[in-house]
């Protein structure tokens, strides 16, 4: 939740100071770009070190850095730089969290756990996005950032209290970080079906999440204010919450996997009507439907865990998350540039059209590829 509050607050500040959809989108995308560095390399530590310790340490560091953003009189470039450094600690945290979940839950309990985790994370995003827009109005961007820092402190406390310490998954590795990072890429992409579906994930995420960076400019196009920015950003996570309930909790495992490709297509198909309906409520409904489609990540997550050895899961999740964050960040910047030339609503529609064609093609290739062989289960899950 803390990551999202900072993104919302700073993107609104930049748009208000500059009036540029591109610069606002670039600021929002800064939260994604550190994954290019921290994703493959720093995620290695989540296999080498105890994962609980990694998560708590990352939270405490981010608490200090985000708190520094609230210092008065800081120029925009320093705010963006500190946000970038703070987000370098998100990859090892997320890799450790993702790799810890299958150690706790086994079988279909893992899929249900992923659904519940997704619901919780998206609910936090909805609150953060909606609150982010409102907090900028009520307590200023500086106050929003102080609240942001407090969320990291709370997360560290909850992890310390609620998560049992476990030994590191691969404490004896003596290879270099770069070697381990390359090994993570190899492990993830050597399975043919997994490779096609992960490419589908990257493409679907790029086009489905690109509108997030346009939220401030889109609200302005609709003659709405900062609160509308929060609603636009919160609509897709709300859809993913609904998808988590329906796909993760109410469907059989075989049915979930069968819906993987249709849901991925829905995540971008829902964006196509955006340019034809300049109405905030209708746009919010389209974004909710798109977010529902993004719930295809639940069966895909199960597929990844099935195919990846426990000792390499943090690296594997780090690689996948890096790809996701990289394509989302680049897509947001490109969408911002296009919105300066066209309009936010037209760009959202273009994302839907191009994304639907690309996702459908990749999904069909993945469905026709051989199924992955389950990895040995050495973690007791």
So what's the pLDDT on residue 347? 93
pLDDT digits (tens, 9 = 90+) for 255-264: 888 899 999 9
d(CA 361, CA 275) in angstroms, rounded, equals: 24
Mean pLDDT value across the chain: 82
Q: Which residue has the higher pLDDT, 181 or 107?
A: 181
Is the predicted pLDDT of residue 378 greater than 50, yes or no? no
329, 29 contact by CB (below 8 A): yes
SS3 of 168-196? CCCCCCCCCHHHHHHHHHHHHHCCHHHHH
pLDDT band at 357 (very low <50, low <70, confident <90, very high): very high
Tell me what the mean pLDDT of segment 36-50 comes to.
81
- Mean pLDDT within 354-378: 80
- Please name the residues in contact with 345: beta carbons below 8 A apart, sequence gap of 6 or more: 218, 221, 274, 275, 278, 283
**CB-CB neighbours of 379 under 10 Å:** 16
Mean pLDDT over residues 84-103, rounded? 86
CB 104 within 8 A of CB 113: yes
pLDDT at 5 (0 to 100):
65
Per-residue pLDDT tens digits for 156-198: 999 999 888 888 776 666 677 777 778 778 888 887 788 899 9
Count of residues for the chain?
381
| pLDDT for res 208 | 93
Residue 381 has a pLDDT of 39
For the chain, the first-to-last Cα distance in angstroms comes to 29
Q: Distance between CA 11 and CA 196 in Å, rounded?
A: 34
What pLDDT, on the 0 to 100 scale, is given for residue 380? 42
Whether 221 contacts 344, CB under 8 Å: yes
Looking at 96-105, 195-204, 266-275, which range is the least confident one? Answer: 96-105
337-353 pLDDT tens trace:
898 888 899 999 999 99
Average pLDDT over residues 10-34: 71
Rounded to whole angstroms, the Cα distance separating 157 from 153 reads 6
Task: Decide: residue 127, CB within 10 A, 0-12 exposed, 13-18 middle, 19+ buried.
Answer: middle
Buried (b) or exposed (e) across 153-183, using 16+ Cβ within 10 A?
bebbeebeeeeeeeebbbeebeeeeeebbeb
Token pair 């051989």 is at which residue? 370
- 50 phi and psi, to 5 degrees? -55, 130
* Average pLDDT, integer, range 197-226: 88
When mean pLDDT is compared across 167-181, 209-223, 230-244, the lowest value belongs to: 167-181
**pLDDT band, very low/low/confident/very high, at 31 (cuts 50, 70, 90):** low
Residue 79: is it exposed, middle or buried by C-beta count within 10 angstroms (0-12/13-18/19+)?
buried
Fold topology of 2-164+183-368:
Growth Hormone; Chain: A; (1.20.1250)
pLDDT, one tens digit per residue, over 305-328 is 777 877 778 888 888 888 887 888
Q: Which of 32-36, 198-202, 243-247, 358-362 has the lowest mean pLDDT?
A: 32-36
Of the pLDDT bands very low, low, confident and very high (cuts 50, 70, 90), residue 32 is low
- 379 confidence band (pLDDT: 50, 70, 90): very low
Long-range contacts of 251-260 (CB under 8 A, 24+ apart): 253/108, 253/111, 253/299, 253/302, 256/111, 256/298, 256/299, 256/302, 257/299, 257/302, 257/303, 259/296, 259/299, 260/197, 260/296, 260/299, 260/300, 260/363
Domain definitions of the chain by residue range:
2-164+183-368
Give me the pLDDT at residue 345, please.
Answer: 92
> Quick one: average pLDDT of 139-145?
69
- Gyration radius of the chain over CA positions: 20
């Amino acid at each position: 939740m803390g990551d999202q509050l900072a993104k919302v607050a700073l993107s609104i500040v930049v748009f208000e100071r500059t009036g540029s959809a591109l610069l606002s989108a670039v600021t929002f995308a800064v939260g994604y770009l550190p994954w290019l560095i921290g994703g493959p390399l720093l995620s290695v530590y989540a296999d080498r070190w105890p994962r609980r310790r990694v998560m708590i340490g990352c939270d405490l560091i981010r608490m200090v850095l985000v708190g520094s953003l609230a210092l008065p009189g800081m120029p925009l470039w320093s705010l963006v730089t500190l946000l970038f450094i703070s987000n370098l600690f998100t990859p090892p945290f997320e890799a450790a969290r993702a790799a810890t979940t299958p150690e706790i839950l086994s079988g279909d309990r893992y899929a249900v756990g992923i659904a519940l985790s997704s619901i919780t994370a998206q609910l936090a995003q909805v609150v953060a996005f909606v609150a982010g827009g409102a907090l900028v109005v009520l307590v200023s961007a500086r106050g929003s950032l102080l609240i942001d820092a407090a969320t990291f402190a709370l997360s560290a406390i909850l992890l310390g209290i609620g998560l049992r310490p476990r030994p590191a998954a691969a404490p004896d590795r003596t290879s270099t970080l770069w070697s381990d990072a390359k090994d993570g890429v190899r492990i993830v992409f050597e399975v043919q079906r997994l490779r096609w579906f992960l490419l589908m994930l990257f493409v679907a995420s790029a086009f489905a999440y690109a509108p997030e960076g346009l939220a401030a400019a889109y609200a302005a196009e609709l003659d709405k204010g900062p609160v509308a920015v929060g609603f636009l950003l919160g609509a897709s996570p709300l859809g993913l919450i609904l998808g988590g309930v329906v796909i993760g909790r109410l469907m059989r495992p075989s049915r979930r996997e069968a819906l993987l490709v249709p849901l991925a297509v829905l995540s971008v198909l829902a964006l196509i009507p955006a340019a034809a309906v300049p109405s905030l409520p209708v746009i919010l409904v389209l974004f909710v439907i798109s977010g529902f489609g993004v719930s295809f990540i639940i069966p895909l997550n199960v597929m990844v865990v099935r195919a990846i050895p426990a000792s390499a899961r943090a690296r594997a999740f780090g690689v996948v998350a890096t790809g996701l964050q990289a394509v989302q960040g680049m897509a947001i910047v490109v969408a911002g540039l296009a919105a300066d030339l066209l309009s936010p609503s037209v760009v959202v529609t273009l994302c839907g059209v191009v994304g639907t064609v690309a996702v459908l093609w990749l999904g069909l290739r993945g469905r026709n590829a051989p199924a992955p062989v389950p990895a040995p289960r050495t973690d007791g899950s």
